[in-house]
Structure 1
Amino acid sequence: MSVNSSDLSGASAQLEVVLVKAGRTKIRYPAELLQDDGTRIAVRAPWAGSGVRDFGFVRFEPGDLFTEYYWRDRWYAVKEVRAADGAVKGWYCDITRPAVRSGGDLVVEDLDLDLWRSADGTDVRRLDEDEFAESGLAETDPEAASAAMAALTELEGLARAGGFTELLT
C-alpha cells in the first residue's frame, strides 16, 4: 500500500516512532508520515531529544528537522538532519532490524551500530562499534549480527561513494 501525505485530503497522517534497544523502549516520538510504499516508510519529525546532543562532529538541537527513512526489508534507517534554517547537517544512520509498522506505531529495534555522513561528504564515520561488541548480539544471534555488519558496510560504501540520493529517492 502506497501512502503519500498529499493523498490524505490535506491532513497529515501521524505515526509514533518507537525506538527499542535491548528489548526496552529507548524513545518514542510523533512523526508525520510522508510515504509508505509497502517496503520503505518515510517520516518527518523535529529533534526528539531533550536539549542539545553534541557528538563532537555534529550537534543535534531543538529546531533540527529529521526526515527519516525506514525499510521493512533492510537492516538500517537513514535520517537526513537539517538545521532550523534548512541547511543540511548530514545523515545519521542507525543499524536496526527491519522496521515494523503496527497501527499507528513504527517500531524499530536499534542494534547499537551507527554511521554518520556530513553534508559535504568529507566526514564519514562508523559509530558505537564498541557498544555493538558489548551487546553480545554476535553470541546470542549471530545471523542478526552478521546482517547488522553487512548493513553498516553497505551504508558506509554508499556514503563514501557520494551519498544516499539513489537510496532515498
Structure 2
Amino acid sequence: MTAAAGSAVEVRLTKAGRTKITYPAERIADDGVRVVVRAPWAAPGVRDFGFVRFEPGDLFTEHYWRDRWYAVKEVRAVDGRLKGWYCDITRPVETDGTVLTVEDLDLDLWVPPDGGPVLRLDEDEFAASGLAERDPRAAEAALRALEELAELAGAPGGLAPLLG
C-alpha cells in the first residue's frame, strides 16, 4: 500500500537485530516499489569519513526499494551543494504504516558528485559479520547489490537513471 507524499514517516535503521538509529523524515514519493523520503542529517554532530563530512544542516533524499537490496541517499550541504550519494546495502525496505524499517548489511558505496572514483566501504565489516555463514542467500544478494550499484555508478549518467 502506498501513502501520500508529504506525510511524516519514521526511518528505522537496524543492524544485527538491533536498532542503530531512528529518525523522522518526510515521504516524498511512494509508488508501491520505491519509497523516497527526505530528512536532515540525523546523527549528533559531524561524521568525517575523510572523503566527505556529514554535518548538521545536510539534507538527505533517501531512496528505498521493496524489491532491491540497497538504499541510495543523495546528500546535499545546507547551501544545496551536492556532496554525493551514500549507498547502503540493505535488505529490501519493510513498511508498516508510517514506519520504514531497513536492515543494514554492512556494505556501503560512496559515489562522489564529480565523477571521481566510486569507493567500496566496510567490506571488512561485512566479512566479519558472519552473514555468509548465518544467511548465505542474504550474503549473496548483498554482494550482487554492491556489484549492481558499482556498475550503475560507473556508467554514463551514474545513478541518475536509477533515481529518476
Unmatched segments (≥5 aa) in structure 2: none
| In 2, Cα distance between equivalents of 1:137 and 1:45 | 29
- The equivalences for 1:1-169 within 5 A come to 1-3=1-3, 5=5, 12-162=6-156, 163-169=158-164
TM-score (norm. length: structure 2): 0.97
User: After superposition, what is the alpha-carbon deviation per residue over 1:100-124, rounded to whole angstroms, capped at 9, x for unaligned?
Assistant: 0001100000000000000112131
Q: TM-score, normalised by structure 1?
A: 0.94
Runs (4 or more) in structure 1 with deviation over 3 Å come to: 1-4
Q: How far, CA to CA, are the matches of 1:64 and 1:2 in structure 2?
A: 27
Q: 2 CA distance for matches of 1:68 and 1:152?
A: 17
**Structure 2: distance between partners of 1:147 and 1:107:** 18
Question: Residue deviations 1:3-59, cap 9 Å, x none?
Answer: 552xxxxxx301000000000000000000001100000000000011000000000
Question: Aligned-pair distance for 1:95?
Answer: 0.1
1:64-83 per-position Cα deviation (integer Å, ceiling 9, x unaligned): 00000000000000000000
Letter in 2 for 1:168: L
Measured in 2, the distance between the counterparts of 1:23 and 1:3 equals 27
